């Protein structure tokens, strides 16, 4: 099968792992996400993954309760490692060879992030899960996703969400919300569309790295996207 995107960076929010639970990791949902990832790995797509930690801990939340922001962000980054190890475990049980590479080295549980090693893993067909965000407080995993996409020269960033693209207003709250098939980075920034944080969008814009926003809860969507089917909303220059 002809692939439109040979190497992708998949950004999953931590909340995607919760399913309908209010906290933590739902193993059924993790299984479904892993099956979607296996599908594209089997097609021959090289897959890098960045996971957030909103299902466990966000630095901003901790800081709003009086914690030191940098300490809270460090906790958030560690929480992404928990999610990354959970995804690795499920992926490997479905037969996908994976490596977790952490921006904060913790050699007893995973590899440290080394760019050239990461690209080597991808070339060998291993899914690489980039854990611990950028390794720096005051950033988010959206920015980490764009950063890693640039570093591994991914063809596209796929941001998997629960809605089927970017709308001019929240489709859950407004029945007349209109979906964008395509939009520019400037549209996202100037209209404050909240698809991804502005630091991540600005970084992608500098390198014109396209971002596809799609609904991951619909089975087969990521495969469709990598094969070139027009789904979701495409953000580019
Ligand atoms: N974080 C950070 N630096 C990074 C990436 C993440 O400090 O480079 C922290 C930050 O506290 C953030 C938390 O990790 O709130 C979890 O990431 P994020 O909020 O992006 O998760 P998501 O919203 O995707 O679930």
How many angstroms from the chain centroid is the CA of residue 97?
A: 18
Q: How far is Cα 124 from Cα 189, in angstroms, rounded to an integer?
A: 37
Give 2's pLDDT tier (boundaries 50, 70, 90): confident
134 is in an annotated binding site: yes
141 pocket-lining for ligand 1 (C-beta < 6 Å): yes
> What is the token pair recorded at 127?
């899914």
Residue 1 pLDDT more than 80? Answer: no
Nearest CA to ligand 1 atom 22: 52
Nearest CA to ligand 1 atom 15: 58
Model pLDDT for residues 190-214, shown as the tens digit of each residue = 999 989 999 999 999 999 999 999 9
Instruction: Decide if the complex's ipTM is over 0.90.
Output: yes
What are the two backbone dihedrals, phi and then psi, of residue 225, each rounded to the nearest 5 degrees? Answer: -65, -45
Q: Which helix (H) or strand (E) holds 167?
A: strand 166-167
Asked if residue 45 lies in contact with residue 8, where contact means CB atoms within 8 angstroms, the answer is yes
Other C-beta atoms closer than 10 Å to the C-beta of 14 total 22
Residue 71: DSSP 8-state: H
Atom of ligand 1 nearest to the CA of 72: 11
58 pocket-lining for ligand 1 (C-beta < 6 Å): yes
12 is in an annotated binding site: yes
Give 215's pLDDT tier (boundaries 50, 70, 90): very high
80 is in an annotated binding site: no
52 pocket-lining for ligand 1 (C-beta < 6 Å): yes
Q: Which pLDDT score, from 0 to 100, does residue 172 have?
A: 87
83 CA from centroid of ligand 1 (Å): 12
If you average pLDDT over residues 162-182, what whole number do you get?
A: 93
Asked if residue 101 lies in contact with residue 50, where contact means CB atoms within 8 angstroms, the answer is no
Domains delineated in the chain: 7-236 (3.40.1160.10)
137 is in an annotated binding site: yes
DSSP string covering 103-146: SS--TTTSEEP-HHHHHHHHHTT-EEEEESTTSSTT--HHHHHH
Burial class (CB in 10 A: 0-12, 13-18, 19+), 227: middle
Other C-beta atoms closer than 10 Å to the C-beta of 4 total 12
């Amino acid at each position: 099968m002809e692939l439109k995107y040979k190497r992708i960076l998949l950004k999953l929010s931590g909340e995607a792992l919760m399913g309908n639970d209010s906290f933590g990791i739902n193993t059924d949902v993790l299984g479904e996400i892993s099956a979607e990832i296996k599908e594209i790995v089997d097609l021959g797509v090289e897959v890098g993954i960045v996971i957030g930690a909103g299902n466990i801990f966000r630095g901003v939340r901790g800081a709003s309760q009086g914690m030191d922001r940098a300490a809270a962000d460090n906790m958030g980054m560690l929480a992404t490692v928990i999610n990354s190890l959970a995804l690795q475990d499920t992926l490997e049980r479905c037969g996908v060879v994976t490596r977790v590479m952490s921006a904060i080295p913790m050699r007893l549980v995973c590899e440290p992030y080394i760019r050239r090693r990461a690209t080597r893993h991808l070339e060998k067909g291993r899914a690489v899960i980039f854990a611990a965000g950028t390794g720096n407080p005051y950033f988010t995993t959206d920015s980490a996703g764009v950063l890693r996409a640039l570093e591994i020269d991914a063809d596209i960033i796929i941001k998997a969400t629960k809605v089927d693209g970017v709308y001019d207003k929240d489709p859950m709250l407004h029945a007349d919300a209109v979906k964008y098939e395509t939009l520019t980075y400037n549209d996202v920034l100037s209209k404050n569309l909240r698809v991804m944080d502005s630091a991540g969008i600005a970084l992608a814009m500098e390198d014109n790295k396209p971002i596809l926003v799609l609904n991951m809860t619909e089975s087969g969507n990521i495969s469709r996207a990598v094969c070139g089917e027009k789904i979701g909303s495409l953000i580019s220059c």
